């Protein structure tokens, strides 16, 4: 099944790329193109997570999200593959430019990470990602059909488990084959490579 070693490796890579939370403080939050998305900008994802976890609703309500579409910024910080990121030490969420991942889908995923973290619900990276993935499906299914979910969410999720942070090489091709198999076994459907969101690097929180 899933390889914890692979997840740990990705986790380490993510940490190495991100020198420290100061990079976010001093480069992202003050960037001229960064917009703050508070609860009033994206009410539905906030409400979904607050309803699901009323114990931490007041914390979730106060989480700010910072959205920046400047791909050069994310490239420079080594985060261009991610759609969003929950930054635990700063209790905030970043939303990157991601043409196939709508802001509200990214927001609900990251706010769920936040809630799970505040409630200490998951011990390791893989458990946290799986829990967040499952918890967000009911929200996403209100707007998107199974086909969209498979190609833009389920498949990228498995790719984040199995794929290295590497260019279009053999390892990536093998991971894609494996992930297509898993999706087929789990859903009885074929992932459509033409539709894929390209978001296999959504490994998305900093601890």
201 binds Zn ion (CB under 5 A): no
CB of 157 to Zn ion, least distance (A): 8
Q: Compute the distance between CA of residue 49 and CA of residue 189 in angstroms, rounded to an integer.
A: 29
Longest CA span, the chain:
46
CA-to-CA distance for 51 and 145, rounded, in angstroms?
23
Nearer to Zn ion, 106 or 176 (CB): 106
Smallest distance from Zn ion to CB 93, Å: 11
- Residues 122-181 interacting with Zn ion (rule: CB under 5 A): 129, 132
Instruction: Enumerate residues 6+ apart whose C-beta is below 8 A from 85.
Output: 79, 93, 94, 96, 110, 204, 205, 206
DSSP symbol at 154? I
CA distance 176 to 106: 22
Based on CB atoms, which residue is closest to Zn ion, 117 or 129?
A: 129
Give least dist CB 35 to Zn ion, A: 22
Closer residue to Zn ion (CB): 68 or 160: 160
| Residue nearest Zn ion by beta-carbon distance | 204
* Cβ-contact 180, 191 below 8 angstroms: yes
CB of 128: closest distance to Zn ion in angstroms? 7
Task: Rank residues 112 and 196 by Cβ distance to Zn ion and give the closer one.
Answer: 112
Q: Is position 204 an interface residue for Zn ion (rule: CB under 5 A)?
A: yes
Select from 25-33, 121-129, 135-143, 164-172 the region that touches Zn ion (CB under 5 A).
121-129
Is 200 near Zn ion (CB under 5 A)? no
Q: Please report how many Cα atoms fall inside a 13 Å half-sphere around the Cα of residue 44, on the Cβ side.
A: 11
Q: In DSSP terms, which residues pair with 94 in a beta bridge?
A: 66, 85
The least distance separating Zn ion from the CB of residue 30, rounded to whole angstroms, comes to 25
Distance CA 197, CA 4 (A): 24
Using the minimum distance from each CB to Zn ion, give the nearer residue, 68 or 132.
132
Q: Which residues bind Zn ion (CB under 5 A)?
A: 129, 132, 204
């Amino acid at each position: 099944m899933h390889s914890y070693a692979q997840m740990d490796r990705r986790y380490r890579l993510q940490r190495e790329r991100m020198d420290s939370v100061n990079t976010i403080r001093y480069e992202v939050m003050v960037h001229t193109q960064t917009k703050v998305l508070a609860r009033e900008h994206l009410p539905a994802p906030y409400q979904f997570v607050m309803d699901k976890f009323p114990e931490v609703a007041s914390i979730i309500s106060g989480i700010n999200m910072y959205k920046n579409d400047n791909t050069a910024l994310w490239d420079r910080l080594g985060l261009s593959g991610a759609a969003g990121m929950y930054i635990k030490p700063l209790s905030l969420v970043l939303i990157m430019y991601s043409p196939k991942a709508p802001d509200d889908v990214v927001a609900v995923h990251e706010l769920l990470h936040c809630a799970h973290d505040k409630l200490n619900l998951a011990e390791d990276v893989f458990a946290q990602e799986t829990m967040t993935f499952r918890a967000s499906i009911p929200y996403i299914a209100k707007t998107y059909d199974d086909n969209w979910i498979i190609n833009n969410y389920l498949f990228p999720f498995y790719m984040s488990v199995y794929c290295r942070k590497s260019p279009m090489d053999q390892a990536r091709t093998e991971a894609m084959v494996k992930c297509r198999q898993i999706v087929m076994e789990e859903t009885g459907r074929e992932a459509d490579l033409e539709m894929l969101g390209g978001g296999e690097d959504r490994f998305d929180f900093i601890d």
